[in-house]
Amino acid sequence: MDERLVVVGSLNMDLSVTVPRLPGPGETVSGADVVRGPGGKGGNQAVAAARLGARVRMVGLLGDDAHGGELRAALVAEGIDDGAVGTLPGAASGLALIVVQDDGENTITLSPGANDRLDESMLRALTDGTVANRADTVLLQLEVPLPTVLAAAREARAAGALTVLNAAPLPAPGPLLTELLREVDVLVVNETEAAGLLRLPDVSSVARDESWTARAERLRLLGPGTVVVTLGAAGAAAADGRCRLTEPGFPIDAMDTVGAGDAFCAQLALALGPGRPLAPALRRACAAGAVAATRRGAQQALPTRAEVDALVSRDPV
């Protein structure tokens, strides 16, 4: 694989603690020692894509604190081009506080720091007005300001790159989000995000009233040519105008799901492209997410291409 991928998104330092169960409101639950490591949806997806064999360029913003230096070093160690990663004087880098339940479920509290300062003018300055930079694919998420993501999507589409949006965390409905969905080729959402975009009262109503593939097809009406809904351990559902399909999850012993969605998105972005079928791309994406969920941490858990190949081969269709 020699795919050229640009990731525009967040870079965070993750502080994670594992607990026997997630605490309720006002409750204290004792957990294991804190694990510290690089994260952020943008950083995670960039590292995942690099390990999966792509040539990756990261576009993002760090603070000039100690975390910023560590986060940049983590990108460079993976062979990622950090030339479009800026450092903002006087700002703190993004920070995520993660609580992980023993079965892998988690809650995340995010302090965006410098990520929130990645505005359109900063995007242009970091990329010299060429976000796509001869890339085959541009991968986006929503942990940086929405107008910036929209600007990146427009530039990617104008350059002829495949534009993939992981719409997480999902913002409130509004004209910017509506316009962004019309500018992307591939939309990836989880069950909760899909329900939010469709203005459904809750996720359970989806399972009860209509299949996930039908909901994916309805999400296509918002603009994306291809829509993928991740279903956790159950796999994923998708529609691309030619077919609707579901891909079952791989049987694993989940340990930590923090980086699983990012591994899924990176592999899907690399496996899709003009003329490439959706089904094998979806299967590889499910495999990448499954491998990541068997290990603790975010970037520490992200799989290599060989590991995804091995899981796909072990459990053939």
Active site residues: 262
| Alpha helices, DSSP H, located in 272-304 | 278-293
Instruction: Output the six-digit token pair for 282.
Output: 């979806």
- Report, in angstroms and rounded to the nearest whole number, the Rg of the chain calculated over CA atoms: 18
What residues are paired with 39 via a beta bridge? 12
DSSP state for residue 251 in the 8-state scheme: -
Q: In what order do the strands lie in the sheet with 244-247?
A: 81-88, 55-63, 4-8, 137-140, 162-166, 186-190, 226-230, 236-239, 244-247
Strands 137-140 and 4-8 come out as: parallel
Q: How far apart are CA 305 and CA 199, in angstroms?
A: 37
Is residue 39 packed enough to be buried (19+ CB in 10 Å), middle (13-18) or exposed (0-12)?
A: buried
Q: How far apart are CA 276 and CA 268, in angstroms?
A: 11
The residue among 5, 277, 286, 303 whose CA lies nearest residue 139 is: 5
